[in-house]
Structure 1
Amino acid sequence: MPAAALAHADDLAGFIAASPSSYHAAAEVARRLEDAGFERRDEAEAWSTGAGKHLVVREGAVIAWVVPAGATATSPVRIFGAHTDSPGFKLKPQPSTGAHGWLQAGVEIYGGPLLNSWLDRELRLAGRLVLDDGSVVLADSGPLLRLPQLAIHLDREANDHLALDKQRQTQPVWGLGAADSADLLAEVAGTAGVDAGRIRGWDLVTADAARGAVFGKDDAFFAAGRLDDLASVHAGVVALIAAAADETAADHIPVLAAFDHEEIGSATRSGAAGPFLEEVLERIGLGLGASREERMRALAASWCVSSDVGHSVHPNYAEKHDPVVQPVLGSGPILKVNANQRYTTDGVGSAAWLGWCDAAGVTSQSFVSNNTVPCGSTIGPITATRIGIRTVDVGIPILSMHSARELAGTSDLLDLAHVAEAFFRG
C-alpha cells in the first residue's frame, strides 16, 4: 500500500477518534479548517463573506466555503456534501437505570444500527451537555459502556438465530451497584469538567471506543466505527484545505456541507432537509451583491456531489448484490445509480463524475442495487429537491454498513479525497 494512502488512513483514524458524535465531528472539522486559515462565522452576526475562507457551525453540522478573489454575483458553487451522524444508541431521559446489582444506561435506538455488531464492545458515550446558563459543553466518557452478550451455555441456539429485543436487551452496563447508587450523567459530566447539577439537557450517543486500524494482505483494509459517513466528511475536509491553497485561481466557490441527522431522515434544522445550506448560499450571494436573479443563475451553473458509503459485493452473500455490477474494496470510489432516483445520478452527472475522476487519476466503479433488495437513499435527492442544483451520488464501497465497526478499502479513502479535490478545483 502506498505511503500516502497509509498516512491518509491514519489521519482518518485520528479524525474518527476525535469525532465520537456529530457535535464532535463538526467541532473537529472546524478545528482543522481554522488551523488552515478559515474564519468562523456566527449565524447571529453580520457576515463578511467576500474573498477568503469561511465556515459556520450549526449544532452537529458544519458548512465551509472559499470565495476566490475574482468571484462575482453569478459565480457558481461546487458543493461536496456528506453527513456527520451514524447509527447507534442515544441516551434517554432519566438515563441511570439498572437491575440485579448492575448499573445500566437507558438508551434509545438511533437510526438503523446492525444491532448484534454492538455486542461485546467497549463503547464511548459522547455528545453535548447543555448547562443552566444555556452554554454547551462537549463531553466524551471514553470507554465506559458494554452490551454483554448472553453466553452460549445459556442459549444453545444462539448460533442458529440471534434476535435482540430492542428494549430489554440493548441497555448497556457501565458499573456495579444499586440502580440509584450512581448517576450516569455525573460520570459523563466529570469527564467534561462540569458540575452535573448544572446540566439541563443533553444529546449523548454511543460510539465504538476502538481506534480505526489498517490490516490485511498488503494493508488492503481499514476498519473503524462511523465510516458511514465520516470517511466522506474527512475526504471533503482534506480536499477543501488542499483546494483552498489556490483560491485566487478558481472561477467558482468550493463548499463543504457536512449535515447532521441523515440516518433519521435529515428533517431537522441541521439536516440536509432543513434550511441550513440554502441560508448559507443566500448569505454568500448577498455578500457578493447578488440579486435574486443572479443567485438563480449561479445555482443553475452549480454542482453538488453527495458522498456517502455504498455496498461492496460481499463474498459470502453475493446473491444480495446485482449479478453484474459488483464493486469491491480497493478498486476506487463508486458512482451510485438508482432508476427511481433514490440516488440522484443521471447521465449528465455520470459524465461529470467520470471527468473529475480522470482529472484526479482515479478509477471509479458503479453501484446499483439488486432488483429484489430495496435501495437506501442519501442527502443527494434532498439537496437536489430543496436547492434545485445538479447533484450526483457517489461514495466508497464498504462492508458491514451500519455495524459498530465498518470495513473499507484503504486505497479508496485517499482516492475519494483526490476526486473531491479535483471537483473543488474544477
Structure 2
Amino acid sequence: MKRSLAGRLLLWLAPLGVVAIALPLALQAWLADVWLSGVIAAAILLPLAVWVLRQALAPLNSLFRALSGAVNSYRDGEFNFGVHWDGNDELHDLVVSHEQLGQVLRDQRQGLAQRELLLDSMVQHSPVAMLLLAPGGDGGLRVVFANLAARALLHGGKRMDGQRLESLLQQAQPELVEALERGGDSLFVVPASEEGGEEQIYHLARRRFQLNGRPQELLQLWRLTSELRRQEVQTWKKVIRVISHELNNALAPIASLAHSGGELVRRGRHDPLEHVFATIEERARHLEEFIRGYARFAKLPQPQKQAVEWAGFLRGLQQQIGFTIEGQAQDTHSRIDPAQFGQALLNLVKNAHESGGDPAQVTVRVLPLHGQVRIEVLDRGAGMNQAVLQNALVPFYSTKRNGTGLGLALTREIIEAHDGRIALHNREGGGLCVTLHLPGS
C-alpha cells in the first residue's frame, strides 16, 4: 500500500505530541508549581524534539545527498551511479524518475560511444590523410589528431599527437611543404621516389573552425593518382574512338574514290576524274583540319599578354566575320594574347552564325563590371537544350555531324589561361548568350 511522506512524519511526531502534553501535567501534579513544571518540561522536550526530528529526517537527508551525488556524477560524465529508497511514498516516485533519467543518459552515452567508435574506425582507416591542428603554447601549430594514413605519410606510421607541425614538415616532401605555405586548397605532384616508380598526385584541403572555443584547422590529403589514371585512360579511349571514327569517315570514301578513279582510267573515261579528285581533296582537307584542331588543343602555348583596347580589337575581328559591337568597348582595356583570344572569339561568333538565327543579330557586347570585363556573344538562333548546355564545353562533345567537339573546349582553355571563366545560357525570346569574364587591366 502506498504511504505518503506526511504520514511517515506523523508517525514520528505523534508520540512527541503525547509526551509534550503528558509531561507538563505530570510535573505539575508532582511539584505543585506551574512555572517550575513548565521550565523542566521545556528543558526535556526541546532536546527530545530535536532528536525526533533528526531521526525522522535522517533518511531524507541521506536520500538528498545521494541524489546530489548522482547529479554531480552525471555532470562529470559518469552514469553508473544508482540511488535506492525503501519507502513507498512520493520520494520513491522521485527516485524511480531519477533512475529512469539515469537509464536514458546511459543509453545515450552508450549510443554516442558506439557512434564514436564507428566514426573513429572510419576515419582511422580512411585512405584520406587527416590532420587536426591547434595553436600550441609556443605560437606554433601542434597535432591534435592524425589518422593512420597521415601517420604513414608524415611520420613513418608512428603517433604524432602533440608534436609541432614544423618539426614534422622537416621530414616531409618539399612539394607538400610548398603547398601548405601557399595556403588554401591546392593540387601538387610528388615525383617518383625511386627509379621505375610513378609520381603521386595529391589534393590538399584546409578547413578552419572553432572547437570548444579554440581555433582548429583540419588538413586533408587525397591521393588522386589512381583516380586520375583511370580518368586519363577513359579520356584516351574516347579520343581514340573519336579519331578512329573520323579517320574511317574520311579514309573509306577516299579509298573508294581512288578505286573508282583507277577503274575510270582503265576504261579510258577521264571526264569524271575531275569530280573524283575534287572529292578526294575535300575529304583530305577535312581530315587535315581535324588533325590540326587536335594539335591546337593539345599544344596551346602560354598566352603572351599585352594591353588591348576592346573597341579596336573587335573592329579588327569584324574584318574576318560580321557582328555588331555593343556596350562600352571604347576605353575598356584588358591584358590578353590577341592571337589566342581572337581565335576564341572567332570560334564563338562562327558558332553564333551557325545557330540558325539571323546573322545580322549576332552581337558582341563589352561591359566593365566590378574591376572585371564581361564579354557577351549573343545570337537569336535555336539555343541549346539542357543536355547540350551541360556538355557543350566538354572536349570531343559535338552535336554537329562533322564537328570535332574541340571548338568550345579550345575556347574554354584559352579563356581559363587568361584567368577568366566562360558560361553559356539561353536567352529569353530565343538564342544563346556566351559570357566571358576576364580580369580588368
TM-score of the aligned structures, taking structure 2 as reference length: 0.20
Which fold has the larger relative contact order, with Cα–Cα distance below 8 Å and residues 6 or more apart in sequence? 1
Find the structure with the greater CA-based Rg.
2
Greater share of residues in helix: 2
Q: TM-score, normalising length from structure 1?
A: 0.21
